[in-house]
Amino acid sequence: MYVNTVVEIHDLRVEYPSRELRQRSKLAVDGLNLQVQAGEVFGFLGPNGAGKTTTMNVLLGFVGATAGSASIFGVDVRQPIARQRIGYLPELTYYYKFLNTEELLRFYARIFHIPRAERERRIDEVLKLVELEGARKRLIKTYSKGMQQRVGLAQALINDPDLLILDEPTSGLDPLGRMKVRQIIQRLKEQGKTVFFSSHELGEVETVCDRVGILHEGKLRVEGRVIDLLQQYQCNLENVFLNIVGYKP
Amino acid sequence: MIRLIMAFLLVCCLTLATVLDPQFQRLHNREDSSAGILIAVMGDSRRLFAHEFFAMADAYFHSGFYPTIFDSQNARTKSDLKEESHDKTAAGGDREEEHSFLGEPKDWIDRFGRNFYPVTHTHLHGGTEREMLPWLKLSTEMDPHEIDSYLTASYWLRTSLHQPDEAEQFLREGMRANPDSYEILLELGRVYFYSRTNAFVARNIFELASQKWLRLEAKGDKPEPHAYEEILGEMVKTDRAQKDPKQELADLGELLKVAPAKESLKQQMNEARSKLAKQQQK
Amino acid sequence: MYRRKDFYVLFALIILLTVVLGSVNFFNDDRIVRYLKDACLLMIWLSSLVIAVTTTARQIPAERESRTIFPLLAKPVGRGEFVAGKFFGCWLACGMALLAFYFFFGLLSASREHTFPLLAYFQAMWLHWMCLGIVIALVLLGSVVFTAPSSNATICLIVVLGLMFAGGHLNGIALQMRGVRGALVYAIYYLEPHLEWYDVRELIIHNWGLIDWLAWCGATIYALLYTGFLLGCAWLVFRRRTVTL
């Protein structure tokens, strides 16, 4: 069965229990409904603490939903198999420093039970894509921040995923590094991959994304095509964002 | 500037150290010796270690069949490290049937657990007694006043291991640390008498041991009465070896004063008297 | 494993200390060996416990700290598989370390005793490894309960050493007590993992020969069951944990 809806979130509610006694639990996501279709690049926006990372954590099974449901390719996210066809790049991760890139990618590829020949072919392919072929034998601890982020992208792509979840992929990178990551996302889009990513770089989102959703205080305030939003609000995405989160200069 | 200050501070520290160190040494009356280092590092805890190392030697003597601190304290303190009368089986070992501190298994865990540690009472034999010597040596390193360690080590060195030179050397080390010890002298005398068959030197050493014992008694230090009996007994043996019935008679008389209950002594005195009479006739 | 420095440091330390101890002259007798075997085995036990506890205690917290847990759990890996993977990684690494340690021990004792009781050493090493399995599972459980790896490592080391030292004597202590306290101590005695079974140093040092194979199998099964139980507990706790920073 071909599933056109890749990500489906229905009435999602996430509460974090308070660590202090007699304090109320914190509501991170409140009644979120969202759908991401196959082949589109979806930008997930919102100020810090809006609930973006929590939503992604639910999709990846890191956090359980208090209420509601979420599924990927029609499979409940609580099942490990739901993560078979996804790639995930967390924000600023430091990979196993005692491994080199090739060993790291081999380790992740084994989790997906990719056959040996195919595994080696995939490793070559993703290393070429993220331009780390020359450094494949170097220990990861010797890498710069930008290179580490590209290693992250490589590991997210090792299983040739149909859905990529990227949590602020350009955070902390220099302009060159950002451009490279942006180019990779563009290339993946051209390959027909679905990309779901959060970012604070609204200019970047405007250029790369087909659709965006803006989350504020755990609620989805706006969702739609980038072009439609720009036309509706008659301003750039940054102003749309500021308008929605209620910023008054 | 900072480098200059650092250098100045370093020079100050060095100067202070050279001034204070001799005073500190004088204050604590310490010599530059290994014992001094041990005292400085371990303090009085070394005595505890010395005692524990002696217990370790005991455990080795029983090939690991030894009570822990959780077992009966009587079992732990009753050492048979120097006992010569071990039951020997035809199997060549010194095996005795399971007895002792272990008792009957209390539960299945206890019963099952006995597969994983020694449960048979055995004693080292045939030269393997050497295995406990390091612990005895370490025990005296920790506390040079641990006299039992000197005695036990030299006993095995001179008997099973046939190393009287090492036994004597070790006992002389013990003498240096414990100049008033009649026990060490007694053992040293035995090295000369039994291993070197030098009754003359042995007699002198036993004599010295008896003097030390008497001196301690006069001071009111309550030395072990049985030890004096042993010293006199050894003296009698050396007298016999030197064919000196006069001295033998004198020593037997002394022995009779400490052990009046021993009937055999009177018979031995009669024998000595007759030997003396024969000598005088000649 | 082969890139971890702590193993090499401890192995070098064992070799160094054993060589130093072996070079000490006791009464001009170079056939004395048991004290050397004793010291070497003690160091092997301590080193293996330190390696097992510190390595395992760092596993999950380090994954959280470096955030590598996120890309890992974003793969089709269940929480149970994650815990099991961590366990087997540490257990196998400790097994390799034990192999190196016991090989050195075997060479050492053979050099003086001129015998190599391979089966006895195999039994001892195997039981040692089984014991480390229980220890590693316990530390893994601790690392999903306690937040700081240092406190987990300290607590686990104290518990393990306490179990090895006094665990087998709790029945005797319980029998000296009366009423509920005695019953409670006896219950603990039955429930605790009996790690003291796996320490067969006395048998090896004093050449007592082979352990009854049936008892050896029993101890292996007991260790596997206990390890499974502790890993199950670790999985149950970790399954409910949210994986966030």
Cβ distance of C171 and B64 shorter than 8 Å = no
Distance, CA of B108 to CA of B35 (rounded, Å) = 48
pLDDT at B82: 64
The confidence band for A213, taking pLDDT boundaries of 50, 70 and 90, is very high
Determine contact: C245 vs chain A, CB below 8 A. Answer: no
Residue closest to B135 by CA, chosen among C38, C200, C110: C38
The confidence band for A1, taking pLDDT boundaries of 50, 70 and 90, is very low
pLDDT at A202: 85
Cβ distance of C243 and A57 shorter than 8 Å = yes
Percent of residues, chain B, with pLDDT higher than 70: 85
Best probe of the C interface among B61, B109, B116, by most C CBs < 10 A, is B116
The confidence band for B232, taking pLDDT boundaries of 50, 70 and 90, is very high
Highest mean pLDDT out of B71-75, B159-163, C67-71, C212-216: C212-216
Residues on chain C touching A94 (C-beta within 8 angstroms): 66-68
Encoded tokens for C186: 């006896």
**Segments in chain C forming alpha helices (H):** 5-22, 34-65, 69-73, 79-113, 118-145, 149-166, 170-176, 179-191, 201-205, 213-240
pLDDT exceeds cutoff 80 at B176: yes
Determine contact: C2 vs chain A, CB below 8 A. Answer: no
Which residue of C3, C66, C73 is in closest CB contact with A62? C73
pLDDT tens-digit map of C169-187:
999 899 888 889 999 999 9
Highest mean pLDDT out of B264-273, C24-33, C185-194: C185-194
* pTM above threshold 0.90: no
The confidence band for B85, taking pLDDT boundaries of 50, 70 and 90, is very low
Looking at per-residue pLDDT, the higher value among B86 and B207 belongs to B207
Cβ distance of C29 and B163 shorter than 8 Å = yes
pLDDT at B89: 35
Q: Is-contact A150 A142, C-beta < 8 A?
A: no
Average per-residue pLDDT in chain B? 84
Residues on chain B touching C198 (C-beta within 8 angstroms): 116
pLDDT exceeds cutoff 70 at B92: no
The confidence band for B30, taking pLDDT boundaries of 50, 70 and 90, is low
ipTM: 0.89
Q: Which residues pair with A38 in a beta bridge?
A: none
pLDDT exceeds cutoff 90 at C137: yes
SS (H, E, C) A138-149: CEHHHCCHHHHH
Among B101-105, C24-28, C195-199, name the one with the lowest average pLDDT: B101-105
Looking at per-residue pLDDT, the higher value among B97 and C239 belongs to C239
Looking at per-residue pLDDT, the higher value among A14 and B44 belongs to A14
Q: Is-contact A161 A193, C-beta < 8 A?
A: yes
Residues on chain C touching B130 (C-beta within 8 angstroms): 27, 29, 31-32
pLDDT exceeds cutoff 90 at A98: no
Encoded tokens for A195: 């990309």
pLDDT exceeds cutoff 70 at C54: yes
- Give SS3 for A222: strand
Under 8 Å CB pairs connecting chains B and C tally to 88
Residue ranges of E strands in A46-138: 67-72, 75-76, 86-89
Best probe of the B interface among C23, C28, C35, by most B CBs < 10 A, is C35
Cβ contact C–B (≥3 pairs, < 8 Å): yes
Looking at per-residue pLDDT, the higher value among B85 and A232 belongs to A232
Kindly report the nearest CA distance between residue A86 and chain C, in angstroms: 8
pLDDT exceeds cutoff 90 at A148: no
Best probe of the C interface among A155, A171, A198, by most C CBs < 10 A, is A155
- Give SS3 for A89: strand
Cβ distance of C32 and B134 shorter than 8 Å = yes
